[in-house]
Amino acid sequence: MRWILKIILFPISLVLSILTAFLTFLLGIGTALLYIVMVFCIFGALASFIQGEVGIGVSSVSYLVHMGFR
């Protein structure tokens, strides 16, 4: 009886395993892209501070604090 249940539930288990692997892959890609955006914001803030446009730099840093470094 138990092996019949295992045979019936095998396709569901396989689909869930593949879905988990795919979603983990997408999460890794999304995380990498957000880190790239965060690095661009940091460089933009530093460049704004160096060029004397403090308002743009402060808004960029506040965006990083609000969204990036949670």
Domain ranges of the chain: 2-68
- What is the full DSSP assignment across 17-44? HHHHHHHHHHHHHHHHHHHHHHHHHHHH
The rounded distance, in Å, linking the Cα atoms of 60 and 8 is 54
**More confident site: 4 or 62:** 4
For 21-64, how does the pLDDT look when each residue is reduced to its tens digit (9 = 90+)?
A: 999 999 999 999 988 988 887 888 788 778 877 777 777 777 77
- pTM passes above 0.75: no
Report CA-CA distances (Å) from 57 to 9, 11, 36, 53, 66. Answer: 55, 53, 18, 7, 14
User: Greatest CA span in the chain, whole angstroms?
Assistant: 75
As given in the structure block, the two tokens for residue 66 are: 């609000």
